[in-house]
Structure 1
Amino acid sequence: MNHALWLALVLALFWLGLSGHYTPLLLAFGVASIALVGWLAHRMDIVDSEAQPLRPSLAAPRYWLWLAGQILISAVSVAKCVWTLRLPIDPAVAEMKAEGLSPLQQATYANSITLTPGTLALAIRRGSIAVHALNRRDLEELRKGAIVAQVRKLEVN
């Protein structure tokens, strides 16, 4: 039941964020649609810890804020690289260690790498992630482990 309540809360916040309209009729439609989706999910028996693997905590919003900062820093770096006339790029591919991470953490790590401008996760393999980088120094930054350390802080059931 706890997972169903979290599902309803997430759906309500998502609906309110996308709607932007808060009239009584539309709020009633939102409550009805959330109740319908919650009931259908319960009947299909898909509301469980596997469907919601992250526990609600402050770790995820902190991670998103940190990642947004990293994306901004990388975007500035890529923009400098592109706007420099001599185009100082040194592309490279390397394996980043992802040992000891759950499948969800590995996916979060790979997506975080891909979201950061200048880097792209190519493949997730057992215990590692193949990464392409616009500059070799970006791979060195990844090897320092800042992203994987932040991913490890996320609580997982």
Structure 2
Amino acid sequence: MTKDKECELLTFNFEPKFLPPSPSDERTDVSLLPVSSTDGCTSYNGDVLSVPTGKNDKRKLSESRNGPPNYLGLALFVTLCNCPFGSLAILFAILSRRQYASGEIVDAKQKGTISKWLSILGVTATLLLIAFLLVYKFVILPNVVVDLKALQDQLKN
């Protein structure tokens, strides 16, 4: 590859080839960073270009990754531990995803936060229940008096 062609590819020299987009095209704004002018290449000024994208691109997937966290995975895990809290957390996670898709980012963040806290409450309640059951089984049950006659015998002696 020649040096001029390489410089043209590195610096995004689209001026002679770039046609103005038609309004019917689906668009994505791309911000190009300035490239340093090393090795005799000219640098691009860093303006924002509107680049057409195809209809089969994975734009929805990238938008869902960039949206506010909805903690759906955590909510699914909590459902295995604590069904009531986990079910509510799943509900709010799905509502968060839907509101982000409709453009309501602030509401989507709030629903995601509610989902996170419901999940935390579900995990905490499960851990407290497990701790109580362990204490009951290994501390309380062995110390409970089962036979009243044995208790009376101990009190007489």
Q: Report the TM range for the smaller structure's normalisation.
A: under 0.3
Q: Which has the larger radius of gyration?
A: 2
- Which structure has more RCO (C-alpha within 8 Å, separation ≥ 6)? 1
Which has a greater percent of strand?
Answer: 1
TM-score (normalizing by structure 2):
0.23
The TM-score normalised by the length of structure 1 is 0.23
